[in-house]
Chain A
Amino acid sequence: MHFEKRASSPRSVARTVWDSVYSVSQAVTGEAAYAKTCARCHGAALSGGDESPPLTGSGFLGNWNGLPLSDLQTRIRTTMPTDSVGIYDRQLITDVMAFLLKANGFPAGSVDLPKDVEPLKDITIQSSKP
């Protein structure tokens, strides 16, 4: 069951986004949310718009390279969507992040990305495979 998989992973050694940190089903949930709310500015192909940066590719990866996923979550949670900040809860934002990880080519695994800040602090965004 989808919900059972959400049990937070134990705080463990530092991981990166290459360590299969989200599940495909979570990315599917996130994709639907992205299409509904985020795509109107960031584009259906995540390629960006006149006012919004791309969410895939070397620019996106460079901006977040070396930073923990908790930083990305905080940025989305406190600023997006710009005209209705706060409409998405932490869970849905984390699902959208799973979709972004998938779209950027990071491998999926069998466990969902945890929604809580602490475990996300232990997962680093690495633009290239370590």
Chain B
Amino acid sequence: MPSVFWSNRVSSAAVILGLVASGSAVAQATKKGAAKAVSSTATPPFTTSRGEWPSYTGDTRGSRYSPLDQITAGNFGALEVAWRFKTDSLGPRPEFKLEGTPLMVGGVLYATGGTSRAVVALDAATGQQRWVHREDEGDRGAAAPRPLSGRGLAYWTDGREERILYVTPGYRLIALDAKTGARIPSFGTDGAVDLKTDIDQTILPDLVTGEIGFQGAPVVARNVVIVGAAFKEGTAPKSYKNNKGYIRGFDVRTGKRLWIFHTIPQKGEPGYETWLNGSAADAGNTGVWTQLTVDEDLGLVYLPVESPTGDYYGGHRPGNDLYGESLVCLDLETGIKKWHYQIVHHPIWDFDLASAPILADITVEGKPIKAVAVPTKQGILYVFDRVTGKPVWPFEEKPVEKGEVPGEWYSPTQPMPTKPRAYAQNGISIDDLIDYTPELRAQAVAIASRFKLGPIFTPPVVSKADGPIGTLARGPTNGGSNWPGGSYDPETHTVYVASSNAAPVVLGLVQPSKERSDMNWIAGIATAPGTGGGGRGGGLSVQGMPLFKPPYGTISAINLDKGEITWQVPHGETPDAVRNNEALKGMNIPRTGQSGFIVGTLVTKTLVIAGDPQVTTLPTRPRGAMLRAYDKASGAEVGSILLPAPVSGSPMTYAVNGKQFIVVAVSGGPYSGEYIALRLPDSGQR
């Protein structure tokens, strides 16, 4: 067994039980897969029911679910490395932020990797490379607002031809022959569509440096490929004017544009009036940088839309700003809007809809509902009827605090679901602060006293060196759930989702110099030079520990028939800075979980699987990050193995030759990107 691994083995009796329970299902999955290959007529809908993983979330529904059951509670701890694929050589230098989730179809695994976002096809059983495809984009690639290896790609077949589609850092849509990795000459121009053109606006300042890109996986459904749009981090933009993140669908055969949806309405279109003073003309961003979701049966696309320009300041775009931070439902074939729901009015908290919407066919009080559920940075799961757009459980428009930033426009209310209750911490009060000891609480109170505190939707403030430095917030930017999203179990109608509770951000605003930005206000902290950054007594942590009470991160199971959290467990080892802290010497600290928004969940027949977002070093094992399995019914941890670095992309699973594999992207800190495939040892080797 490789030395980087450390198994928390369970009893051998449980291992045997696990084997007995698992064998038949994988055999069945393999048989079905073989049948599909022979008939060769299978087209989408995408499904994991044949033991494959043909779309970024397994299916196009945001599920991250597989019915495979060879890997169980009884044998998870016995997993070993089947193969590993280091991505260092796929680009000019190693990458340390590998966020991909591969696809697996017909025994071949497809993934993105490397600093210039190459595509590789690997033998799914052995990891041997079949082909690699890389685009050299020169200055255009270097200027990408969303660089590096991206999150994945899309697969399409008509039963005869097989294609892989992905978006380059320079924002071009590429179609490849899945068998060879060669571009499809009949698609776009010699296999590529320039996404900076034919976009109902002129991308400024030019095609090379014009800010727009996408690091997510395109989604293919029926014969349409849909591409998102993303920009640079937006807390301190150079200008209140920016390119607009319109969303487009293309013909997967030809690359021809089928439709475009103006996420910022143009003059004469509904919603334009929600941008007061004609501000829709200049405003930008408002794209979809996370994963899109499609209901292939209903022919509907769900767009989780991000913030308009200026994450924390919206004075240049007064009004509600549709479709900023809205869930938008479009017709798959035409792009015509069916409905929308704005989750945050006049966004000024960076509450981008950051997770793929999850489709769920549920039964509420005896009534079947085709629902869509959206995990959020707020730690609130917003649940809608996905046909009508009406909330499944009523939302209330709750009054929220009006801020005092000069020039800002405030929405007097925000929608708040009555069910399910929030699954993450999303506001800050003194009661939330660390209280292991009175001294630690006092230090935390002293830190907090320099900030404005309040519940969710407490507005940003002008930063003052003598206080408040800003509004201290949990949720905005990197709390709750982010791009890894959640999972959905169609058998139990349960959403599983990770959340980050202890990653506060400072919603402070400063006036930029004219050279820095033409915005009235951008994110910043007013401090006299040399005093910034704080430190253990003055930063956002207390003696290296989170400012807050645990749990710092959780996984929750939310039953959508009832709208209730059925279990919630701290996820992640207690951080070193807590476990070894002098101030806690002699105290017994229960597992705290970890904050971090890279936690993606995978749900199988019996397990919920997720990696720790942080590295820890224990007296009993070397440094590394655990991959954990929970009993999906109870939330009890049933096994874990040590990985050399955190799982930095959502895990996936598949079966080949009667064996179930789990593949995870691993990277972070000093550890460069690597895909690691895990499987059970052959029974003779146990």
Q: How far is the CA of A115 from the CA of B616 in the complex (A)?
A: 28
Chain A residues near B95 (CB-CB < 8 A)? 79
A44 with B506: in contact, given A56-B540, A102-B533 (CB under 8 Å)?
yes
> Is there a chain A Cβ closer than 8 Å to B475's Cβ?
no
Of the candidates B146, B470, B537, B540, the one whose C-beta lies within 8 Å of that of A51 is: B146
Contact B478 A49 (CB under 8 A): yes
A83 with B580: in contact, given A99-B533, A105-B544 (CB under 8 Å)?
no
> Is there a chain B Cβ closer than 8 Å to A33's Cβ?
no
- Stretch of B199-207, B231-239, B245-253, B329-337 contacting A (4+ beta carbons < 8 Å): B231-239
Residue of B at shortest CB range from A36? Answer: B516
> Is there a chain B Cβ closer than 8 Å to A104's Cβ?
yes
Chain B residues near A40 (CB-CB < 8 A)? 232-233, 235-236
Contact B148 A82 (CB under 8 A): yes
Q: How far is the CB of B568 from chain A (nearest CB, A)?
A: 21
Q: How far is the CB of A110 from chain B (nearest CB, A)?
A: 16
> Is there a chain A Cβ closer than 8 Å to B535's Cβ?
yes
Q: How far is the CA of A31 from the CA of B642 in the complex (A)?
A: 36
Chain B residues 223-277 with CB under 8 Å of chain A are 232-233, 235-236
> Is there a chain A Cβ closer than 8 Å to B581's Cβ?
yes
- Stretch of B78-86, B176-184, B570-578 contacting A (4+ beta carbons < 8 Å): B570-578
> Is there a chain B Cβ closer than 8 Å to A92's Cβ?
no
Q: How far is the CA of A64 from the CA of B580 in the complex (A)?
A: 15
B-facing mask of A39-54, CB < 8 A → 1, else 0?
Answer: 1110111111111111
Q: How far is the CA of A24 from the CA of B552 in the complex (A)?
A: 32
Contact A59 B144 (CB under 8 A): no
Contact B523 A65 (CB under 8 A): no
Contact A103 B668 (CB under 8 A): no
B-facing mask of A60-99, CB < 8 A → 1, else 0?
Answer: 0111111100011011001100111100000000000001
Of the candidates A54, A62, A84, the one whose C-beta lies within 8 Å of that of B575 is: A62
- Stretch of B45-53, B58-66, B485-493, B524-532 contacting A (4+ beta carbons < 8 Å): B524-532
Residue of A at shortest CB range from B470? Answer: A45
Q: How far is the CA of A61 from the CA of B574 in the complex (A)?
A: 13
Contact B575 A58 (CB under 8 A): yes
Q: How far is the CB of B426 from chain A (nearest CB, A)?
A: 16
Contact B147 A82 (CB under 8 A): yes
The listed residue with most B CB atoms (<10 A of its CB), out of A31, A45, A102, is A45
Contact B93 A58 (CB under 8 A): no
- In the complex, the number of residue pairs spanning A and B with C-beta atoms less than 8 Å apart equals 182
> Is there a chain A Cβ closer than 8 Å to B664's Cβ?
no
Chain A residues near B577 (CB-CB < 8 A)? 57-58, 61-62, 65, 127-128
A43 with B623: in contact, given A24-B530, A62-B576 (CB under 8 Å)?
no
Q: How far is the CB of A20 from chain B (nearest CB, A)?
A: 13
Chain A contact-residue range equals 35 or more
Chain B residues near A74 (CB-CB < 8 A)? 670
Contact B96 A79 (CB under 8 A): yes
Chain B residues near A45 (CB-CB < 8 A)? 470, 505-506, 508, 525, 534, 539-540
Chain B contact-residue range equals 35 or more
Contact A47 B478 (CB under 8 A): yes
Contact A48 B93 (CB under 8 A): no
> Is there a chain A Cβ closer than 8 Å to B615's Cβ?
yes
Q: How far is the CA of A72 from the CA of B670 in the complex (A)?
A: 7
Q: How far is the CB of B671 from chain A (nearest CB, A)?
A: 9
Contact A103 B524 (CB under 8 A): no
Q: How far is the CB of B525 from chain A (nearest CB, A)?
A: 4
Q: How far is the CA of A70 from the CA of B233 in the complex (A)?
A: 28
Q: How far is the CB of B400 from chain A (nearest CB, A)?
A: 23
Chain A residues near B543 (CB-CB < 8 A)? 105
Residue of B at shortest CB range from A48? Answer: B478
Chain B residues near A41 (CB-CB < 8 A)? 233
Chain B residues 323-377 with CB under 8 Å of chain A are 350, 352, 354
> Is there a chain A Cβ closer than 8 Å to B503's Cβ?
yes
Contact B148 A56 (CB under 8 A): no
Q: How far is the CA of A79 from the CA of B151 in the complex (A)?
A: 18
Contact B96 A75 (CB under 8 A): yes
The listed residue with most B CB atoms (<10 A of its CB), out of A31, A61, A64, A128, is A128
Contact A59 B595 (CB under 8 A): yes
A-facing mask of B536-575, CB < 8 A → 1, else 0?
Answer: 1101110111100000100000000000000000000001
> Is there a chain B Cβ closer than 8 Å to A32's Cβ?
yes
Q: How far is the CA of A57 from the CA of B595 in the complex (A)?
A: 10
Contact A31 B581 (CB under 8 A): no
Contact A52 B233 (CB under 8 A): yes
A-facing mask of B473-517, CB < 8 A → 1, else 0?
Answer: 000011000110000000000000000001111101000000000
Of the candidates B93, B529, B539, the one whose C-beta lies within 8 Å of that of A105 is: B539
The listed residue with most A CB atoms (<10 A of its CB), out of B94, B477, B483, B533, is B533
Chain A residues near B668 (CB-CB < 8 A)? 53, 63
A47 with B540: in contact, given A59-B595, A103-B534 (CB under 8 Å)?
yes
Q: How far is the CA of A79 from the CA of B393 in the complex (A)?
A: 46
Q: How far is the CA of A65 from the CA of B483 in the complex (A)?
A: 27
Contact A104 B536 (CB under 8 A): yes
A59 with B596: in contact, given A51-B233, A105-B537 (CB under 8 Å)?
yes
Q: How far is the CA of A66 from the CA of B669 in the complex (A)?
A: 12
> Is there a chain B Cβ closer than 8 Å to A11's Cβ?
no
Contact B670 A71 (CB under 8 A): yes
> Is there a chain A Cβ closer than 8 Å to B210's Cβ?
no
> Is there a chain A Cβ closer than 8 Å to B416's Cβ?
no
Q: Could you pull out 5 A-B pairs where Cβ atoms are within 8 angstroms?
A: A40-B233, A45-B506, A58-B594, A62-B576, A83-B142
Q: Can you add 19 more A-B contacts, CB < 8 Å, to A50-B354, A127-B577? A: A28-B530, A39-B524, A40-B235, A44-B508, A44-B532, A47-B503, A48-B477, A48-B505, A50-B289, A58-B552, A62-B614, A63-B615, A63-B669, A65-B615, A66-B623, A75-B669, A79-B93, A84-B142, A103-B539
Q: Across chains A and B, which 5 residue pairs bring their CB atoms closest together, nearest first?
A: A105-B536, A103-B533, A58-B575, A63-B669, A128-B580
Binding site for A on B (CB under 8 A): 93-96, 142-148, 232-233, 235-236, 289, 350, 352, 354, 470, 477-478, 482-483, 502-506, 508, 523-525, 529-530, 532-537, 539-541, 543-546, 552, 575-578, 580-582, 594-596, 613-617, 623, 646, 668-670
Binding site for B on A (CB under 8 A): 24, 27-28, 31-32, 35, 39-41, 43-54, 56-59, 61-67, 71-72, 74-75, 78-79, 82-85, 99, 102-105, 127-129
